[in-house]
Amino acid sequence: MKNLVTDTFETASGKKLEITFIVHASLKFRFGDRVIYVDPASSLADYSDCEKADFIFFTHHHSDHFDLKALEDLATEDTTIVCTKTVAGEIPDRDDRDIEIMQNGDSLNFRKGFSVEAVPAYNYVSREHFHPAGRDNGYILSFDGLKVYVAGDLEDVPAIHNLPEKNIDIAFLPVNQPFTMTVRQAVNAAKIIKPKIFYPYHYGQVEEVTDLQQLCADLEGSGIEVRLREMP
């Protein structure tokens, strides 16, 4: 893949985190010598020539977040796959792989300053059939204390009221109807979570039009920096 945008951050102790914006809900992190992908899906991008992964995280099993071709393109025998029980059930040779199944509330420490916590990701009211409570994960990835929240697919559900205590530095929140948040819901969620930086993501893959200008206007003066990045 060419012409991808990468943002670079520095932790409190001077370590570097790079975030590369691939497509839709797919992200790549580089932290030290570790390469980490979140939700690679070959239906939206070609990963065959990409750098191999040390870790691959899957929030859930939908085809715009997970498929076996992307997994095979990125994984080696040493790659750790972090996923839900549902995703693990779709990996045919899972007994031969390093798979960590996480449920909402679980946490893992991978050392070298890198850890993760799984948090709820679900819909509510009339759309819970897309993403029912308890099945899917969002992830809070901690890189030497710098906390990145990748929400997966959800709305501004009650569970996010527990996130301010996590002290999120960077948040990726989906803005994509009818499957995730409206602009109003995303603004509300951002104001509750209070990240320092908010990246809207997971939009533009269906016929809906996400009003990013309205989103930015509604968060003006909130103390939250909204960053828009190209996610084809």
pLDDT in tens, 69-78: 999 999 999 9
At 189, is the pLDDT very low, low, confident or very high (cuts 50, 70, 90)? very high
Region 208-226: what's the mean pLDDT? 92
State the sign of the Cα–Cα–Cα–Cα dihedral 189, 27, 113, 169. negative
The model's pTM: 0.94
Q: Is residue 232 part of a domain?
A: no
pLDDT of 226 > 70? The answer is yes
Number of domains in the chain: 1
Region 35-39: what's the mean pLDDT? 98
Region 156-184: what's the mean pLDDT? 91
Cα 194 off chain centre by: 17
Q: Which amino acid is at 131?
A: H
Q: Alpha-carbon distance 89 to 222, whole Å?
A: 42
Containing domain of residue 87, as a range? 5-226
Q: Is residue 231 part of a domain?
A: no
Look at residue 17 in the predicted model and tell me its pLDDT.
Answer: 98
We report the CATH number of the domain holding residue 60 as: 3.60.15.10
The length of the chain is 232
Backbone angles phi, psi at 3, to 5 degrees: 60, 35
